[in-house]
Amino acid sequence: MTVYFIGAGPGDPDLITVKGARLVESCPVVLYTGSLVPKEVVARAREDALVLSSEDMDLDEIIEVCEQAHKEGKDVARVQTGDLSIYSSLAETTRRLDPLGIDWKVVPGVSSFQASAAALGQELTLPETCQTIILSRASGRTPVPEKENLKSLAEHEATLCLFLSASLIRKVARELKEVYPGHWPVAVVEKASHPQQRILRGTLDTIVDQVEGAGIRATAMIIVSKVLDHNEFRDSRLYAAEFSHGFRKARQGEEIDS
């Protein structure tokens, strides 16, 4: 018996992995985050499966479901939004399962920052302009370690993807303006990959009014990056004619890198 922690993807039921979908189809118990994972994602569960939403459960109750399934020798599909490596409560759950001798495995999913980039049609790294992506959140009711404060993250000028922060947009813009000029580009994607997806593009000066005006408070990704309006970047070396790598020999000139 195993508890499978499955990344459900950002919302579109087609954006779960084949492996994740097969497990949802085969597990006799399916426990999904009802507040964020749409019902269609777990609609592929078998007819006799016990399908439960964890929306109103606390951690003890979630563990009880796993324990009961363990006793009955039934696999559990624990289906959670996006990918389990980011703000998922995986760690606090698995450290409770280990002492109970319950096996578990993780199946990755498409994270909402990736679905947001796709919605924007945006590569988040650009040659010689930006080669780093920072995934973080603004500190609100949930504190963020002081060394990870937004201002210090912004100093890298990396692409910044902020989860769980839409309702804190005013604070985010204020803190980032201590490092960046007001015209620094920002995009907000609400419900990426859902039918109700909305995209706002603006700057640190405009985004607060845009987000508040649209009434966006949750299920939204804030992306702050110069890549959002940068067309003056160089082509990558990956497809450059003079560059050869493991799979392709250079057509002209010498090898630059590996």
Q: Which residue, 81 or 203, has its beta carbon nearer to ligand SAH?
A: 81
**49 versus 150: smaller Cβ distance to ligand SAH:** 150
Distances (CA, A) of 234 to 121, 151, 225, 249: 18, 28, 17, 21
| Cα 60 from chain centre | 25
Least distance CB 233 / ligand SAH (angstroms): 26
**In whole angstroms, what is the distance from residue 218 CA to residue 168 CA?**
10
Minimum distance, C-beta of residue 36 to ligand SAH, in the bound complex (Å): 6
- Where on the chain is the footprint of ligand SAH (CB under 6 A)? 10-11, 81-83, 86-88, 111-112, 115-116, 163-164, 189, 191-194, 218-221
Q: Please state the closest distance from residue 214 (CB atom) to ligand SAH, in A.
A: 13
Count of helices and strands (H, E) across the chain: 8, 10
CA dihedral 190, 167, 134, 157 (to 10 degrees): 100
Host H or E run for residue 189: strand 185-190
Which one, 99 or 143, has the nearer CB to ligand SAH? Answer: 143
Angle made by CA atoms 108, 109, 113, in degrees to the nearest 5 = 125
Nearer to ligand SAH, 82 or 243 (CB): 82
- Min CB(60)–ligand SAH separation in Å: 21
Q: Which residue is nearest to ligand SAH (CB)?
A: 82
Minimum distance from CB of 138 to ligand SAH (Å)? 10
What is the nearest approach in angstroms of ligand SAH to the Cβ of residue 95?
A: 18
Residue nearer to ligand SAH on the CB measure, 88 or 244:
88
Residue type, 138: A
Which is nearer to ligand SAH, 69 or 221 (by Cβ)?
221
Question: Which distant-in-sequence residues (6+ apart) come within 8 Å of 131 by Cβ?
Answer: 125, 158
DSSP characters over 136-149: EE--SSS---GGG-
Tokens 């100093």 locate to 155
Hey, how many other C-beta atoms are within 10 angstroms of the C-beta on 161? 24
